[in-house]
Amino acid sequence: MQLTTAPDLAAKLKTSPQTITRNATRHKIGRKLGRQWVFTPSDVERLTQLLQANRQRDWAEMGKRGMQKRWQ
């Protein structure tokens, strides 16, 4: 089994290592060994799908809905 670290995965996905570790923590993907995050091939696939879905979201529309809820 090949393990991938957060900086290697960030370079592959053209994003920052902080984005990788933030999403890994938030969605419980991968494992933290000491100070380093490591990911299996299935974890890499899940993170790739997650980041692609985040890029396709309409964040402005989501913000408008949040503000509407707040002001009701």
Instruction: Give 68's pLDDT tier (boundaries 50, 70, 90).
Output: confident
pLDDT value of position 72: 61
Three-class SS state of 2: coil
Sole residue written with tokens 């920052």: 16
The pTM of the full predicted model, rounded to 2 decimals, is 0.74
* More confident position, 69 or 30: 30
pLDDT value of position 26: 94
Per-residue pLDDT, averaged over 24-30, amounts to 95
Residue pair 39/50 in contact by the 8 Å Cβ criterion = no
Average pLDDT of the chain, as a whole number: 89
Phi, psi of 7 (to 5 degrees): -65, -40
Percent share of the chain, pLDDT over 90: 69
